[in-house]
Structure 1
Amino acid sequence: MTAKNVVTAVFHFPPDYRIPAKAETRITLRNRCSDTLLGTWTSAQLPDQSPWRFSFELPADLKRNCKVEIDIDLSVAGTSLLPDIKYSFRWRRDNQEETFHLSPPGYLYLSAALVPMIGTQDNTLATLRLVAQTEPGIPVHVLSEEITFFKGSIPRYLRYDVNKVKPGQIYETQGTFGSRRKFTMKPIPRSVVLLKEKPQSLILSA
């Protein structure tokens, strides 16, 4: 019998990123329309390069245009390598294919940006920043900053130094463009935890 409601998720990594040999992955699907778990898959045998293609079958009674959330985790020896980003798509037809760009350590994929509707020239510059969220009055810590041409600036991978990332810290993406007058662009994701905090060890005593 031919499978129905098949969706193929295509996961991309940065072209120059090498997937660790001992990495494991865990993929969880959830129906956001009913907030029900659709399934969880784990694997310790991963392709050494991207893209990865992962096909799964959705329930026959799933309503069309329903939002499906994908949570993918890549880890080595229990340490997560991916930021806390959940991906999603809307199911519309059988044999549907969806593309996702993952953000391993040192890379943050900016998928889109909210930009004001104004005209720009080809040589207009844009500045993209990744900053740590801080309390009012505390200087902003800039983790990464890139200056590029506005046209073609997003989507792109924004590079950062993994040695300067604080576990559990929320980082915010920022963007501006223009010369004499600066306009604000809002990259997506707007905020992200790049490195999850390790769970504390539980010590019991009699």
Structure 2
Amino acid sequence: MSQSNNTTPYITLTFSLPEDFSPPSDGEGETYISVQTANTSIPLNVVQFREPILRSGRWNFSFAHNYSDVSVKYLVTINMTHNGVPLLIDLDYVVIVHRAPHRQTLHLSPIGRLYIQAQAPRAVEPEHAVTLAAHEHDDTQALVTQIHVSEKMAEAFYLEYDPATVVPGKRYTLTATENEYQNSIAVYPGSVVLKPFSMA
């Protein structure tokens, strides 16, 4: 990778939370964002940003893209804590930039609501549903939650679950099955820690 000598273009990320998500307004809050390169032999720290406030809705975050001759894969992490307690599921977001300026929306997952992306659905009749389940990593019968959604709806949505039913720090697996023919559907994330350990 070579650094560009011209005017530095920027990457703009739009962080998006569910419309009804409202963080606590009392106590101490913090939002932390980290960006690293993910396709270099040694990950390079691009930016680390910390602010003593909590966010809701949608907001933009920009950082410089210093490379002009190669595609760059960035690894983005974002955490929000209230009195040291995590408010978001700890996920890594991959942003691939071929050229800048570049804009991309990242959907964040508050604890209790996991943003799911499935493979692009084909056109199906409304009654043909997809079953999506979250279960213990080594036991598909130990369900945390299970829902049925139309295949058209399965492309991207929030999966709700009760945080009190999951173990902090334990990894759970997500599976999706098309009901008519029992075909598996790719889903992201495939596995996730639904409740981080508290730092408080």
TM score, norm. by length of structure 2: 0.85
Shift of 1:188: 0.6
Deviations 1:12-47 (A, max 9, x none): 111111122243111111011221111200011344
Shift of 1:113: 3.0
Alpha-carbon distance in structure 2 between the residues aligned to 1:188 and 1:114: 12
List runs of 5+ in structure 1 lacking aligned partners: 202-206
Partner of 1:204: none
Shift of 1:63: 4.4
Alpha-carbon distance in structure 2 between the residues aligned to 1:130 and 1:144: 5
- Is 1:131 aligned to residue 146 of structure 2? no
Deviations 1:80-114 (A, max 9, x none): 22222100111222221111000001100012338
2:11 to 1, 7, 20: 7
**1:144-163 equivalent positions in 2, closer than 5 A:** 144-163=145-164
Q: 1:42 to 1:184 in 2, by over 3 A?
A: same
Partner of 1:55: 62
3-state secondary structure, aligned to 2:153: coil
Alpha-carbon distance in structure 2 between the residues aligned to 1:90 and 1:119: 28
TM score, norm. by length of structure 1: 0.83
2:82 to 39, 57, 76: 76
Asked if the contact 1:133/1:171 (under 8 Å) is kept, the reply is: yes
Look at both structures and tell me which one has the larger radius of gyration over its CA atoms. Answer: 1
**1:87-102 equivalent positions in 2, closer than 5 A:** 87-102=93-108
Shift of 1:76: 1.1
2:114 to 108, 111, 116: 108
3-state secondary structure, aligned to 1:111: strand
3-state secondary structure, aligned to 1:195: coil
> Aligned AA for 1:56?
F
Q: 1:43 to 1:176 in 2, by over 3 A?
A: same
Identity of aligned residues (%): 25
RMSD: 2.3
The list of structure 1 runs, each at least 4 consecutive aligned residues, that deviate by more than 4 angstroms after superposition, is none
3-state secondary structure, aligned to 2:149: strand
List runs of 5+ in structure 2 lacking aligned partners: 1-5
3-state secondary structure, aligned to 1:153: helix
